[in-house]
Structure 1
C-alpha cells in the first residue's frame, strides 16, 4: 500500500476534487456514468462522491441518478472482467500492483470458489475496492451471470440506498452536506484511503 499512502496521496486528492467538481456542470449525468464505469475496473474514487451532491441538488431525480450510477458501474464491471480474462498479466497486473492488492486477488479467488455470486455482491455493496473483484472475476473465469446478478444487486442496492436516504431526509441532510461539505469531503477521502489499507489486511 506504499503507492497509495505515500507519493500518490496528493494525486488521489486531485482526482477526488476533480470528481466532485463535476457536480456543478451541465454534463454531470454523463460524468456520473463514466466515473461509475471507470471505478469498476481502475479508477480510484467511488462514484458515491459525485452521486451524493447530485442528489442533494436534484432530490426529485434521486432514482435517476442512482440508476445512472448503477448502470455505469455494472457496465464497467464487464470491462474489469475483460481485462482480467484477456489482459491480466499486463493491464490487470499493473492495476493490481498500483494499489498493492495482488495477494487480495488470491483471497478473492478463494471466495469465488465458495460462492461467486455472494462474493461479487459483497464487493459491490461494501466499501471494498470493487475493481479487485471484477478483475479477479475475469482472471478466475467466474460465470457472467454471477458477475451481472451480483453487480446489479450490490451496486444497485448501495447507490439506491444512498440516493434514497438523501431524498427521504431531504433538507436535514442537504443542510449538513452544504454546510460541512469541505470537512465531509476530507473525511470521505480519508475513508477512501483507509478502505484500500483495510482490504489489504482483512482479505
Structure 2
C-alpha cells in the first residue's frame, strides 16, 4: 500500500469525528479554535528545529520555506476567537493538545528531522480533506470574522500538501514518519473528541 492510501485510510476516523463535531455549539467551536491556536504556536518552532537538524539540504530549504508559510497563522485563530466574543484565557490548553506538539520534539530528537514529515502529512492531508467543508459550515453560522484560520487552510493547504508529498519522496526510509503520521492523526482525533465533550462545562465556567 502506498503512502497516499495509508494516509487516506488513517484519516477516515478523523474525518468522521469532524463531521460529527457540534460546530453549531459556539463553545465547542470556540474551544477548537483555541486548541488550534495553542498547537499552531509551535508549528514554526518545530519546522525550524527540523530544518536545523536534517543533513539533507533539500529538506532544510523546504522546512524553512514552510516556516515562512506558517508564520503568524496562530494569530488567525486568535482573531477568530475574539470574533466569537471570547478570550484565549477562557479556554485552557487540553492535555491532548499538548501531546499533539510535545511528542514532535521527541520524534525529531529520537528519530531525526525526517520523522516530523509524518506530522506534517497528517495535518496537511486532513486540511485538504476537511477544511473546505468545515469552513463552509462554520462560516454559515459565525461569519468571516470567526473563520479566518480554517478559510486560509482550505485555500492554501492543497499546495502545502503537494509540497509535503514531494518532500517525503526525498526520504528513503519512511517507517518512522509513517508511524508518526498515524499517531498524529489519532492525537488530533482526541483533540476533537475532547472539544466535543467540553461544550457544557466551558459554557458554565464562562457564565460563572
* TM-score, shorter chain, exceeding 0.5: no
